[in-house]
Structure 1
Amino acid sequence: MSGTVVEAVRGKAAAAQLLSFSGLFAVYKAKGCTSAAALNRLRAKLLAEAGMPKLSRRKKNKMLKIGHGGILDSSAAGVLVVGIGKGTKMLSSLLAGSKKYTAVGELGKATDTFDSTGKVTEEKPYDWITKEDLENVLQKFTGSIMQVPPIYCALKRDGQRLSTLVKKGEVVEAKPARQVMVYSLTLRSFKPPFFTLDVECGGGFYVRSLVNDIGKELSSCATVLELTRTKQGPFTLEEHILYEDKWTIDEVARSLECCMPLLQEEPPCKKLKMELSEECAMNSEDK
């Protein structure tokens, strides 16, 4: 059998295997890359390996159904849960479940986006703030709290994202405060003006808003410098996650097989009675 024929047979087998996939797995989304871009890159790599790289974008999306379980800011890194095939229908359950983040904040500075990508809108002194002050404030943001989402976000008005409208120069009012859940909030380190938080929260929660609100509560201001999602569902940065060098058909197959029992063992999601329709799991764009 010639080499060309062997390659064709292998290509057909790889394509058949890829199109048979159904389930959930997780990938690492790098900082500076949108969730949509990470998903598109993953899809392109898998289709290219299966010998189907020349399809139009519309045909690629239709042929290989794939989605992510919760948007991760382009300035953030970490766990991005991916649904493939019929697994995309399982993504919505992850939105209401808990997630864990590590956030590095900076006191004395506020930006319009509530993170380091935005324009500085305010600067205030912070010299008097102690570690004890910060730890005391954190207690006010634990449990069921009311939170106003940032204007630069994926929430929509008239079918368009608020962040898109703001970038167009339109006047955008913040969405009303809504109930969110913070299961745990701890101070990992405090080296003024910088502080590091570990957060476990429910669906619809914005760590950027949390840090901004903490700054105000301290009679100063604060913004997010770095944000990493460390866990979503059974998927963590330490295990059960595929980094980009592992975005292959064989590695996805192994991950799907490995993660199936984990999903069955995962305890029921900590659900909140709130509107989550604005945060669509399978949206192909990012904040």
Structure 2
Amino acid sequence: MAGVSTVPNGSLSKLQSLHGIFAIYKKQGPTSADVLNTLKKALLKEAGVANPNPRKRKKQPLKIGHGGTLDSNASGVLVVGIGEGTKMLTTMLAGSKKYRAVGELGKATDSLDVTGNVVEEKSYDHITKEAFEEKLKQFTGEIMQVPPLYSALKKDGKRMSVLLKQGQEVEAKPARPVTVYSLSLQDFSPPLFTIDVECGGGFYVRSLVDDLAKGLSSCAHVKELIRTKQGQFTLEEHALKEECWTLTDISQALQPCPEPSGQQKDAKKSKSKHKSGPSESKGDDGDHNSD
């Protein structure tokens, strides 16, 4: 068939000419880093790079990163920056996100989600739908939140979740201010409940569910978590499924980088003389369960 074959060099040039951000669908199971490596490998392979190793950092022909970790057990929107678009990811970390979470009352786990070990069981028969909705009001607006021990946050350069799995003792990070723009109960069928939450950066849905249940004299953990929106990207309209991780589909979905002003260009030239840029931006802010 005419026009089907591609010239590898041409494809690689096309790939390297992409600069901006787009959204992909992260399925439940793999880590956000695993998903990014799968995407990178698919793009490099399509561009004709033989035996691409997405984990190799040095001399990479492709710069790519994500704008906020999703837990391995979570699914949904994962914003990706490519080329100069990796520099736009810090904006995505601070921006608002929407989640739908299914929680289970009566059982608490060490990870605060279904992947952990049950560490406490309490009754929940006393909790009514009305009491639950009333409690939600206390977690709306500017609140203080303690991040989960099992998270992408780091201690001495290592992720706390990794240190815990190695058997090391880890102290909880201090409570920090986070923002909840909206919080609503979608379904209440004890022990299960479903909530929708829109929040700012650094927020953990796992901690919210844990705190909610404690406030109701019970305990709970997250069974299912879906990020339905991040910034301008929604799950329904923008998140590319794995079969669409192609040069053509990404080119069409890409939100390009804004053109730098003359002053920004001069500043960039001055900065590049002193420091070379990162080969990859991960964009981790511990958005774990908001990652």
Pairwise same-fold verdict (TM > 0.5): yes
- Contact 1:146 1:179 survives alignment (8 Å): yes
Identity of aligned residues (%): 60
Q: 1:34 & 1:61 partners in 2: Cα distance?
A: 24
Where do 1:1-287 residues align within 5 Å?
Answer: 7=5, 10-56=7-53, 57-58=55-56, 62-256=60-254, 259-260=255-256, 281-282=282-283
Deviation track 1:180-226 (CA, whole Å, cap 9, x = no partner) reads 00000000010011000000000000000000001100000010000
User: Which structure: greater helix fraction?
Assistant: 1
- Contact 1:103 1:224 survives alignment (8 Å): yes
Deviation track 1:102-157 (CA, whole Å, cap 9, x = no partner) reads 00000111000000000000000001111001000000000000000000001111
| TM-score, reference length from structure 1 | 0.87
Worse overlay, 52-61 or 238-247: 52-61
Q: 1:53 & 1:25 partners in 2: Cα distance?
A: 25
Provide closer, same or farther for how the CA distance between residues 106 and 68 of structure 1 changes in structure 2, counting only shifts above 3 A: same
- Contact 2:41 2:52 survives alignment (8 Å): no
- Contact 1:36 1:286 survives alignment (8 Å): no
How far 1:241 moved relative to its partner?
A: 1.7
Query: Residue type matched to 1:179 in 2?
Result: P
Deviation track 1:233-271 (CA, whole Å, cap 9, x = no partner) reads 110011022100101110011111xx349x99xxxxxxx
Provide closer, same or farther for how the CA distance between residues 228 and 85 of structure 1 changes in structure 2, counting only shifts above 3 A: same
Deviation track 1:7-59 (CA, whole Å, cap 9, x = no partner) reads 4x522221111111000000000000110010000010011111103244426
How far 1:63 moved relative to its partner?
A: 1.2
Query: Residue type matched to 1:11 in 2?
Result: P
Query: Residue type matched to 2:156 in 1?
Result: D
SS in structure 2 at match of 1:63: coil
- Contact 1:100 1:229 survives alignment (8 Å): yes
Query: Residue type matched to 1:282 in 2?
Result: G
Q: 1:216 & 1:111 partners in 2: Cα distance?
A: 13
| TM-score, reference length from structure 2 | 0.86
